[in-house]
Structure 1
Amino acid sequence: MSDAPPQGREVWIEKYRPGSLSEVAGHETIVQRLENYIEQNDLPHLLFAGPAGVGKTTCAVAIAKEIYGEHWRENFLELNASDERGIDVVRDRIKSFARSSFGGYDYRVIFLDEADALTSDAQSALRRTMEQFSHNTRFILSCNYSSKIIDPIQSRCTVFRFSPLADDAIAGQIRQIADAEGIEITKAGIDALVYAAGGDMRKAINDLQAAGVVGETVDEETVYDIASTARPEEIEEMVQLALAGDFMAARSILETLLTEEGIAGDDIIDQLHRSVWEYGLGEREAVQLMDRIGETDYRLTLGANERVQLEALLAGLALDE
């Protein structure tokens, strides 16, 4: 074991957040383009779109640190639109920051996280604010779905689309953190963390920190116990039994996942969707499964009972046999 400080004193997703663009993992092309903007002192308005935990906020903060150095906090305003969705936020806080005096830099940066949560009126106000203060302010907008951002804002931004992180990028970061914290982790443990994360670096690091305080060694069993994730072989067996027409056996596995392992129905659907093409299914069976997954996911989104809907999914697969 190393002389690392006791675990649990600091949240690792912040402790190991990259401090510069060059440290960001898995988005080399995006990082290179952003570094070019900074080198040329020609930063446009930016729109970062992609799923959670893939580096959108990290890149925004890294940009501010590289432009302003130790003064980045005074010249960087971060707002979360999901908490402050109204038009008053745009009119008051953003305009106040954009109008305030500052020296030594050509512009300040406003980072609006989860911008797709802004109401239509707030987005219209934001568009006008971007026009009004374009001479001394740069906006970085982050969202999960760029389609929810109005076209006039998108046309004013350079859009970067962040994809889920590759397994190698997540595995490399996990090994680096485990070494720094003096944690013994097995190859199977790393693979389990990567699978459970599904491209989300934040989840992978949080799960590693949680698993690191459970025992001396982080292995596959520990990860699945704390990550609320079913083993891929359990999901595959359940699907294969249903496709073979054995509904009762498939339902038994589902019951174990929901009750004994406490896995949420939404998470089971997500694992099914991610793994469809890894089961070696024929084209017809894969199409059947994708169709059932889509229908079940839609019904769960509307608030239907997860147990009933997942059992209906398995029954449908069994009947199609």
Structure 2
Amino acid sequence: MPGPPPQPLLRVCRAQSPLSRGLHRGVPKARLTCANKTAYELAAQWTRSARDGPEVTRAVPAYSRPALRLPLGGGNWGNRGDGGESPATSRRRPPSGDERLKGPGSAREYGELGITGDQPEKFRPKCVDEVAFQEEVVAVLKKSLEGADLPNLLFYGPPGTGKTSTILAAARELFGPELFRLRVLELNASDERGIQVVREKVKNFAQLTVSGSRSDGKPCPPFKIVILDEADSMTSAAQAALRRTMEKESKTTRFCLICNYVSRIIEPLTSRCSKFRFKPLSDKIQQQRLLDIADKEHVRISNEGIAYLVKVSEGDLRKAITFLQSATRLTGGKEITEKVITDIAGVMPAETIDGIFAACQSGSFDKLEAVVKDLIDEGHAATQLVNQFHDVVVENDNLSDKQKSIITEKLAEVDKCLADGADEHLQLISLCATVMQQLTQNC
């Protein structure tokens, strides 16, 4: 009599299948219905373990997979007979702490920065005092926190300057870790930006009553906080619907709008909030923060590498930390150099930019077209060339102010065309032709 199928297979198959009715009574053939992928894979494992059974059953998957024919005899599911564990009972033991620190790809080999989760989240400020380079905002928030009160806020400025981190740190200080999740609603307006979100999520949360006190005895404010990140992506209708909610629920709810472009927030909302501008972080502040992170995570980076990392991040500390994390994974524990940062950040090497300028100065359109074609074939982004070209042109002392103005005007035109989906090759040819005209005027 053929042996019964394994219990794991019985548990994941449909109860009404003939499996439990027929096979346990020794019926030589039965129809096995695999209700899901797990059942099908277990059935396949059972087939491989039952090698000498003449009887056959038919397994029918409930999803789009070919039918499986199973031999019913002989195989012992619980013991393969070769001393090894069976497919059903074997379990992969999680690695111990020492094992996680050994072997290729380990934390000890690559450094914690290279393998742990989201590094920008890991190094977010935990309190308002840890916010860098935003002295005015920190001073106002500290005064508000002392009185356990907070106005409606509007934070605006470039990305990566600490806007979201600041309000989250302030909320943690206000409510403590126990009440933080209950009192704070954080929405990314880029994903949820319609009027329906304002009417449902925001309005329902704002109407909730608040209760409870902090376990540490500190005063707990009688209000909640709604954080609308990237509020400049909200539709005009959603922003208009938010006005009434902010007024009606002012006693129990405070709002913090976060955006990159304050001009995209309607005037009725900005007039209801205290506005704070977040400045781009200085190079010195960024270098200090990045060196602290590299020291904590045991990451080796050269002085030239850290300086270039700050340059390509353009005042965005979050971007700089992400680049540092990617560079650590790429180097595998070796020292991070300027070349590594160039590869990670996707910027064009200085030699490439110099080659384009040399082709423009040659006055040969054929040579210029060949350089642009090679640039496109290598996968460089045209927008990246426009950005780097702008810096090179502005800093070039061999160009007159009139020539610089003509080239930068062309850069703006090309940037607009690229944003509208124009062909990169044609736009770069047009840009380089303008540069060639201006450079050859000096010859």
TM-score normalised to the size of structure 2? 0.67
154 and 247 in structure 1: CA distance in 2 versus 1, 3 angstrom threshold: farther
Which aligned pairs between 1:212-227 and structure 2 lie closer than 5 A?
212-215=328-331, 216-227=334-345
Which aligned pairs between 1:1-321 and structure 2 lie closer than 5 A?
5=112, 7-70=114-177, 71-103=179-211, 104=213, 105-215=221-331, 216-232=334-350, 234-235=352-353, 238-239=356-357, 242=360, 245=363, 251-260=369-378, 262-280=379-397, 281-320=399-438, 321=441
Task: Output the CA distance in 1 between the equivalents of 2:113 and 2:294.
Answer: 13
Letter of the 2:252 partner, please give it: N
Distance apart, 1:81 and its partner CA: 1.0
Task: Output the CA distance in 1 between the equivalents of 2:261 and 2:293.
Answer: 30
Letter of the 2:436 partner, please give it: A
Aligned CA RMSD, in angstroms, stands at 2.2
Distance apart, 1:249 and its partner CA: 5.2
**More contact order relative to length (CA 8 Å, sep ≥ 6):** 1
Structure 1: gaps of 5 or more residues: none
**Aligned-pair identity (%):** 40
Deviations 1:92-151 (A, max 9, x none): 111111111222422111100111111111111101111111111111101121111110
Do the aligned partners of 1:230 and 1:257 also contact (CA within 8 Å) in 2? no
Report the 3-state secondary structure (helix = DSSP H, G, I; strand = E; otherwise coil) of the residue aligned with 2:115.
Answer: coil
Deviations 1:42-62 (A, max 9, x none): 421111112222211111211
Do the aligned partners of 2:113 and 2:328 also contact (CA within 8 Å) in 1? no
79 and 258 in structure 1: CA distance in 2 versus 1, 3 angstrom threshold: same
Distance apart, 1:33 and its partner CA: 2.5
Do the aligned partners of 1:300 and 1:306 also contact (CA within 8 Å) in 2? yes
Task: Output the CA distance in 2 between the equivalents of 1:297 and 1:179.
Answer: 39
Structure with higher Rg: it is: 2
Do the aligned partners of 1:241 and 1:249 also contact (CA within 8 Å) in 2? yes
Task: Output the CA distance in 1 between the equivalents of 2:321 and 2:113.
Answer: 17
Report the 3-state secondary structure (helix = DSSP H, G, I; strand = E; otherwise coil) of the residue aligned with 1:204.
Answer: helix
Task: Output the CA distance in 1 between the equivalents of 2:281 and 2:372.
Answer: 29
Distance apart, 1:5 and its partner CA: 4.0
Deviations 1:193-237 (A, max 9, x none): 112211111111111001011221110111111211113464355
Task: Output the CA distance in 2 between the equivalents of 1:286 and 1:252.
Answer: 25
Deviations 1:235-284 (A, max 9, x none): 35534653674555555554444332x32112222233345433334312
Moved more, 15-24 or 89-98: 15-24
Task: Output the CA distance in 2 between the equivalents of 1:243 and 1:122.
Answer: 53
Task: Output the CA distance in 2 between the equivalents of 1:147 and 1:6.
Answer: 37
Report the 3-state secondary structure (helix = DSSP H, G, I; strand = E; otherwise coil) of the residue aligned with 2:272.
Answer: coil
Do the aligned partners of 1:109 and 1:139 also contact (CA within 8 Å) in 2? yes
Do the aligned partners of 1:87 and 1:122 also contact (CA within 8 Å) in 2? yes
Letter of the 1:295 partner, please give it: E
Moved more, 196-205 or 243-252: 243-252
